[in-house]
Amino acid sequence: MRQRIAIIYNAPNPDLYGTTVEKKASLAIIGGVEAVHQALVESGYSVVRLSLLPPLESAKESLKCLEADLVFNLFEGFDGCPETEATVADFLSELGLTYTGCPGNALSLGLDKVKTKARLETIGIDTPRYQLLDPRTISLFHLNYPCIVKPYAEDGSNGISEESVVHDFASLERQVTTVSNRFGRRALVEEFVDGREFNITVLGTNEPKALPASEIVYSLPPEIPRILSFSAKWDHQSIYFEHTKAVCPAEIDLELRERITQTALLAFRLLGSRGYARVDFRLDTAEQLKVIEVNPNPDISPDAGAALQAQAAGMTYNQFIEQIVHLAT
């Protein structure tokens, strides 16, 4: 009898957003669901799909009714409530369902960039110096410019734009106020590391393995900060999208490749990750690696970085998706 897999995901609500690009980003989950569905069917599985709707209590009731051998978890959180991604994973664990990807504690930790940085620092993994600030505490700022200002609990580059990199107190104050007002919480301010940027996907459970690393290569005009902004990911008409590309495998020497790989494996384990996660890095002026972010359950759409790295490792997309199934517990 064929194994029955249920794909769960968040039903997008583009009406919550004011711009066409934000609406497009909200709808992107559907393309990923369709790609995974097709890959699973082509690999011989019986597949059903379940879109989850708020409130959380309703979503939990829907999960209780699932009849499946395994849940392929593509739920990214309800629109505007990224913390619900971890809650749904916790529901799956409570209900005793076998599911793909990271458990709720890893998803919750990965979303909170400050807690992640603190955890990394306990074992000596470098991250940029940072502060949490809001308009009332801006006078406590003590970092070195330039800095990057971003939400401390968002994903998908939400809240990251050309204005996020600041060089003086006036622009810092303006951006901290913007982020605090928009997301309803303090802003994460980091010293901006403007070196080469890499990311690497880790697959596994007890003995995780890293895929080939990618480099994010920017060909932007010099006056525009080299960052993976929201528009670089979602706005095909933007200068950021046009002048940002991923090169995989990254063109780096063996020593740097090994440093990236070993640091990523440490970070993966430290956050309690399982299944798959991505670690983002930058090199500082002294060629030291700085971990920018750890992203449990990153985008696995066919055009996403994780799929590109799987291809560089010799996997077809269907094989990549099947590997994630095999890693589910």
> Residue 293 is part of a domain; what is its CATH number?
3.30.470.20
CA distances to 133, 168, 190, 230, 253 from 146, rounded to whole Å, are 16, 8, 9, 20, 29
Is the domain of 201 the same as that of 306? yes
pLDDT at 2: 65
pLDDT at 233: 85
pLDDT band at 155 (very low <50, low <70, confident <90, very high): confident
Sequence-ordered alpha helix ranges (H) in the chain: 20-42, 56-64, 84-94, 104-111, 113-122, 169-183, 230-234, 239-242, 254-270, 305-312, 317-326
Is position 243 within any domain?
no
Is the domain of 118 the same as that of 207? yes
pLDDT at 158: 85
pLDDT over 90 (residue 89): yes
pLDDT over 90 (residue 25): no
Is the domain of 8 the same as that of 81? yes
Token pair in block for residue 69: 């051998």
Is the domain of 9 the same as that of 55? yes
Is the domain of 24 the same as that of 93? yes
pLDDT over 60 (residue 1): no
pLDDT at 185: 83
pLDDT at 316: 98
Question: Do 143 and 195 meet the contact criterion of CB atoms below 8 Å apart?
Answer: no
Is position 104 within any domain?
no
Pairwise pLDDT comparison (24 vs 170), residue with the higher score = 170
Number of domains in the chain: 3
- What pTM value is reported for the model? 0.94
Is position 82 within any domain?
yes
Is the domain of 72 the same as that of 42? yes
pLDDT digits (tens, 9 = 90+) for 202-240: 999 989 999 999 999 999 999 999 999 988 888 888 999
pLDDT at 190: 97
Find the domain containing 83 and state its range: 4-99
pLDDT band at 292 (very low <50, low <70, confident <90, very high): very high
* CA atoms of 1 and 109, how far apart (whole Å): 38
pLDDT > 90 in the chain, percent? 85
pLDDT at 16: 65
> What's the CATH code of the domain at 172?
3.30.1490
Is the domain of 14 the same as that of 87? yes
pLDDT band at 13 (very low <50, low <70, confident <90, very high): confident
Is the domain of 175 the same as that of 83? no
Is the domain of 173 the same as that of 80? no
Is the domain of 21 the same as that of 95? yes
Is position 235 within any domain?
no
Is position 147 within any domain?
yes
pLDDT over 60 (residue 328): yes
* CA atoms of 191 and 144, how far apart (whole Å): 6
Is position 241 within any domain?
no
Is position 283 within any domain?
yes
pLDDT at 59: 95
pLDDT band at 329 (very low <50, low <70, confident <90, very high): low
> What's the CATH code of the domain at 86?
3.40.50.20
